[in-house]
Every structure is written in C-alpha cells, then in structure tokens.
Chains A and B, each alone.
Chain A
Amino acid sequence: QQQVKQSPQSLIVQKGGISIINCAYENTAFDYFPWYQQFPGKGPALLIAIRPDVSEKKEGRFTISFNKSAKQFSLHIMDSQPGDSATYFCAASRGYGNKLVFGAGTILRVKS
C-alpha cells in the first residue's frame, strides 16, 4: 500500500518552462512534507519542505503548494534549467522517529 502517490513518473520540460510534480497522501496524521532532489550517483538532498498549516511556500524558483482538504501537494519549478534535471521525490512524515515515506519519484529532464 503506497502511502504517498507521485506523478508523473517522468517529465520533459523546455528550458525556461514550468515543471510541475504532484503528490497525494492518505494518512491525515502526516505533518511534514518535504521534497528531495537526487542527481545520478548521489544521495537525495532536501530541496524544500512545508508543514500543513500553510498553503504555499516559495524558495527561489521552487514552490510547494499544499491542499490539506484534498490531501495533495505539488512542486513547481519556475524557469526550469538543464541543471534541474534530476529525480524528484516527495515525502511525508509524522512525529517521533521522523519516518519519511517517499513517493516513487519523478525523473525530470529539462531540454536546452
């Protein structure tokens, strides 16, 4: 049973375009929703994270939109660049133990 569902599986975007990756979760007890970026041969690295008490968080070109009632959150990458080409994972966790549950990942390719 997949607790965090991520889509699309892969995404190709032109340089300068907007990349959008969506996630949906089931467990309403989740209270922390991060996005991780992973380059080939490297470990995942935190990109941006949100708590359910806000609906949007922006850091540079990266924005998380959060819809608590729909149990969905998404990552928007504005002005996408070839250097953004990577695998992106959404995740969710709750409380003690910091047990992150990851989505299946989205392979993003930004064409120059």
Chain B
Amino acid sequence: DTAVSQTPKYLVTQMGNDKSIKCEQNLGHDTMYWYKQDSKKFLKIMFSYNNKELIINETVPNRFSPKSPDKAHLNLHINSLELGDSAVYFCASSHRVEIGELFFGEGSRLTVL
C-alpha cells in the first residue's frame, strides 16, 4: 500500500506544452510538498501546503501552479514547458508542519524536448 503516490512516473513532452503531475498520500498527514531534483541530483523545495493552505512558495516561475483540493492531494500544473524544466519532481508529505520526517513519493521524471 503506497504511502505517497505520484502519477505519472514518466512524462516526455515538447516545449511549450502544459502538463500536470498528481500526488496523493494515504498517511493522514496535514502537510504536503513539491521538491525538484535536477540532473545533478540537487533537491530543492518548490511549494508546501498545510491543510490546503500554501505556506511555502519558493522562487519558482509563475508557470508552475500547485493545487491542493484536499489534505490528501497536491497536484502540480506546469504551463509553457521549457527545456530547463526537465527534472525529477518529488511529492512529499509530513505529519507536522513544524518539523519532522518527510515521506517522499517515487518521483515523476519530466523530459522536455
């Protein structure tokens, strides 16, 4: 029973297209995150939601828009995809918003051609 699940696992698309990645967690956590891992494996936070409220919004282009329909779901929509958006996007969740263990999904590898 997967704790944090992301779909799709792989995305290959052309520049200029719009794509979405979906994330669901069944851990009962209140806080969810999107992290980006680049080709050098560097992990950087993009967004964080607590009880459907956006609490962290790092310096991310406006083309990226997260949406949290409920506490268990956090989706990421990307408009007008660029070559530099190619990366692995990880969804994560944690029980507490203050501190604690992050549970990561298996990642969604986005390739922009």
User: Interface residues, chain A, CB within 8 Å of chain B?
Assistant: 31-32, 34, 38, 41-46, 49, 87, 89, 93, 95-102, 104-105
Contacts and interface: CB of A to CB of B under 8 A. Distances in A.
Interface of A is mostly: loop
Contacts, number: 63
A43 B55 contact: no
Contacts of B41: 38, 87, 104-105
A102 B42 contact: yes
B42 A43 contact: no
B98 A43 contact: no
A43 B107 contact: yes
A43 B99 contact: no
Interface of B: 4, 31, 33, 40-45, 48, 50, 55-56, 90, 92, 94, 96-107
Contacts of B106: 41-43
Closest A-B pairs by Cβ, 4 of them: A43-B104, A102-B43, A46-B101, A105-B41
A99 B104 CA distance: 14
B56 A97 contact: yes
Contact of A44 (B31, B42, B90, B100): B90
